[in-house]
Homo-oligomer: A and B are copies of this chain.
Amino acid sequence: MDAEIIAIGSELLTPFRQDTNSLYLTRRLNELGVEVIWKSIVGDNREHLTQAVRLALGRADIVITMGGLGPTEDDLTRECVADALGLELRRDNDLVTALYAWFAARRSKMPDNNKRQADVIPGAEILKNEKGTAPGQFWHGEIGELEKIVILLPGPPFELEAMYDAQVHSRLLPVVPEEYIATRELKIAMVGESAADTRASEIYKRFPDVQTTILAGAGEVQFHLRARSESQEEAQELVEVLADRLETEFEEEVFSSGGETLEQIVGYWLQMRGATLSVAESCTGGLLAQRITSVSGSSRYFVGGAVVYSNDMKTSMADVPPLMIAEYGAVSKQVAAALAEGIRRRCKSTLGVGITGVAGPTGGTEEKPVGLVYIAVSDGKKTEVLEKKFPGDRDRIRKFASQQALDMIRRRLRA
């Protein structure tokens, strides 16, 4: 079965706002074996909205609208869907009463406009809105000879998600044919996107029944695998076989096959090894500590860190000898190692990490260009230092450096 999603609201046609609800709905619909074949984004415009619904009904089995259910003149979804279906709205008295009650409970008078929220498409079931005033609607009927479903959902994400989970999923379940979509997600660290794609495409090309989507960020490539079948087992089997082949190809470059982030995996290994961690960051300016501590429970293995932006701070917080900075420069292999070793001693942690580099856009020289970063990991006996030249802007260089540090910690711990 196919679905089409229509996002409604003039603000979604500005440079500032974007529909994100459709990603949630797509995930949920896919779980039922329903594919999304088209998405439209239209403004609060009667003609466009009616046309969008009519066209969608001609293409898809399920049409879902999001937004335009409020009480104002701009909220046209109810009317336009009714128009597209060739039906006339009727006002539901129970809903009017419920709206009065909602306002009374909040000790305020209901504006007359709000009664429009009680207008219902004939034959539609009302979907209660537990998080706001705008009720949704679920219409299931025939157009010509064809069975169609039209679902009206509110625009705010928390209202939409709560309504879908509690009232839409259960209504779709008995209607959609038994088809299953299985997914798997593999993440690899510090392999370039095109290199990863070249290696992976040799493999996934041979699995045309599995849809493979590749997402890439600074130092991270994700493979999203997806297969559909009439049986859950078969769909699962399809993605598992491809996932196994990819895991064999990328081996220890794969850090996660269950959706975990790299910082979660690092936390997992630290706990497994009963180890603790401290960090001294220069160019990443706290980003590494922030990523590590974004994981709930990280206080069990993260002791602390220092953001040592100035040379004085490198000395006073991580005991880097001033003479070393004078001789090799703040951005050097030696200082990175000293930061890792110094912060480790100070914090009495199992592992210490030091990062120093040129994040740019200014401050680069011929010898030490923007993007040059040294990353060190020390366990007190052995200190490993990597020299890297990362591409991109300040933000991207900092992300790369923090990703590289996390990956070094991961590799050290799993060895």
Query: Contacts of A313 on B, CB cut-off 8 Å?
Result: 303-304, 347
B289 pairs with A304, CB closer than 8 A: no
B308 pairs with A286, CB closer than 8 A: no
Interface centre among A10, A48, A55, A213 (most CB of B within 10 A): A213
24 pairs, A vs B, C-beta closer than 8 Å: A12-B39, A13-B36, A14-B224, A16-B215, A16-B222, A16-B224, A18-B20, A37-B45, A38-B42, A41-B41, A284-B293, A285-B289, A285-B293, A285-B302, A286-B286, A286-B307, A290-B290, A293-B307, A296-B360, A303-B310, A307-B307, A312-B348, A313-B347, A316-B346
Give the contacts of A1-58 with B (CB-CB under 8 A): 10-18, 20, 23-24, 26-27, 30, 35-43, 45, 48, 52, 55
Given contacts A286-B287, A293-B286, A316-B346, contact A213 B310 (CB under 8 A): no
Given contacts A36-B13, A286-B286, contact A306 B317 (CB under 8 A): yes
A93 on interface, CB distance cutoff 8 Å: no
Given contacts A40-B39, A286-B289, A298-B285, contact A211 B14 (CB under 8 A): yes
Query: Contacts of A26 on B, CB cut-off 8 Å?
Result: 13-15
A226 on interface, CB distance cutoff 8 Å: yes
A304 pairs with B294, CB closer than 8 A: no
A292 on interface, CB distance cutoff 8 Å: yes
A217 on interface, CB distance cutoff 8 Å: no
Query: Contacts of A306 on B, CB cut-off 8 Å?
Result: 304-307, 317
B215 pairs with A17, CB closer than 8 A: yes
Query: Contacts of A30 on B, CB cut-off 8 Å?
Result: 14-15
Query: Contacts of A41 on B, CB cut-off 8 Å?
Result: 38-41
A37 pairs with B14, CB closer than 8 A: no
Query: Contacts of A304 on B, CB cut-off 8 Å?
Result: 306-310, 313, 317
Give the contacts of A270-320 with B (CB-CB under 8 A): 279, 281, 284-290, 292-294, 296-299, 302-310, 312-313, 316-317
A37 pairs with B13, CB closer than 8 A: yes
A305 pairs with B293, CB closer than 8 A: no
A309 pairs with B293, CB closer than 8 A: yes
Give me 7 other A-B pairs in contact (C-beta within 8 A), A15-B23, A15-B30, A41-B41 excluded: A14-B213, A18-B18, A37-B48, A285-B292, A287-B290, A304-B317, A306-B306
Given contacts A41-B39, A213-B16, A293-B285, contact A309 B299 (CB under 8 A): yes
A365 on interface, CB distance cutoff 8 Å: no
Query: Contacts of A294 on B, CB cut-off 8 Å?
Result: 285, 394-395, 398
Query: Contacts of A15 on B, CB cut-off 8 Å?
Result: 23-24, 26-27, 30
Give the contacts of A92-115 with B (CB-CB under 8 A): none
CB distance from A414 to the nearest CB of B (A): 24
Complex Cα–Cα for A292 and B215 (A): 28
Query: Contacts of A39 on B, CB cut-off 8 Å?
Result: 12-13, 40-41
Complex Cα–Cα for A348 and B285 (A): 18
A362 on interface, CB distance cutoff 8 Å: yes
**Chain B residue nearest in CB terms to A31:** B15
A361 on interface, CB distance cutoff 8 Å: yes
CB distance from A28 to the nearest CB of B (A): 9
**Chain B residue nearest in CB terms to A393:** B296
A286 pairs with B290, CB closer than 8 A: yes
Complex Cα–Cα for A224 and B16 (A): 8
Binary interface encoding of chain A residues 346-363 relative to chain B, with 1 for a CB under 8 A from any of its CBs, else 0 = 111000000000001111
